[in-house]
Structure 1
Amino acid sequence: MRKEIQAYLDQNADLKLFVRMHPEWYRTLSRSPLEVQRLKSAADLFYGRTFSQRLDRFNQRASMMSMFVAMAEAMAEKKA
């Protein structure tokens, strides 16, 4: 692998870990170093950093909070 790619991975610990977990990227980056952008996209998808994944997590948290509020209101009504 080229020195520039190794230095880039050293600067980005999460990408370095992703490459270690998916060794096919060693070969891909060795043959075509310009695939770094595709590596970043694949790592974002793996780590759940895409917009749709973040939106899904937000919606799950919002629904959980609304469930807790509804449960708290039900308990308050039950006591009253």
Structure 2
Amino acid sequence: MDKTCLLYLEENPQIARFVRYNPVWYRYLSREPSRISELPKEAKAFYGKTIPQRVERFSNQMQMVGMMLQFAGAMKD
């Protein structure tokens, strides 16, 4: 692997962890070091940090809170 790729991974431990979990990226980076620019985007999708994933998670949490409130209201009666 290219030294610039290794330095980049050392500076970004979360992305390095992503590469460890997805070893195919070692091959990609060894053959095409220019693909390093794709890593942050792929890592965000892997860790669930994209905006659509965050919105979905927030929506699910709000649904859960609503269900809990309905359940608490039903218990009062």
Note whether the superposition's TM-score is higher than 0.5.
yes
Task: Give the deviation of 1:48 after TM superposition.
Answer: 0.7
What is the total number of aligned residue pairs between the two structures? Answer: 77
Aligned counterparts of 2:30 and 2:59: Cα–Cα separation in 1: 40
Q: RMSD across aligned C-alpha pairs, in angstroms?
A: 1.2
Higher relative contact order (CA closer than 8 Å, sequence separation 6+): 2
| Bigger shift: residues 53-62 or 7-16 | 7-16
Please give the per-residue CA displacement for 1:16-64, whole angstroms capped at 9, x wherever unaligned: 1111111111121122222112122111111111111111100000000
Aligned counterparts of 1:50 and 1:35: Cα–Cα separation in 2: 19
Match of 2:74 in 1: 74
2:53 aligned counterpart, secondary structure: helix
1:49 aligned counterpart, secondary structure: coil
Aligned counterparts of 2:65 and 2:37: Cα–Cα separation in 1: 36
Structure 1 residue ranges, 4+ long, deviating more than 6 angstroms after superposition: none
Match of 1:50 in 2: 50
Match of 1:10 in 2: 10
Letter in 2 for 1:36: I
Letter in 2 for 1:17: R
Letter in 2 for 1:69: L
Paired-residue identity, %: 40
- What TM-score, normalized to structure 1? 0.85
- Unaligned runs of 5+ residues in structure 2 are none
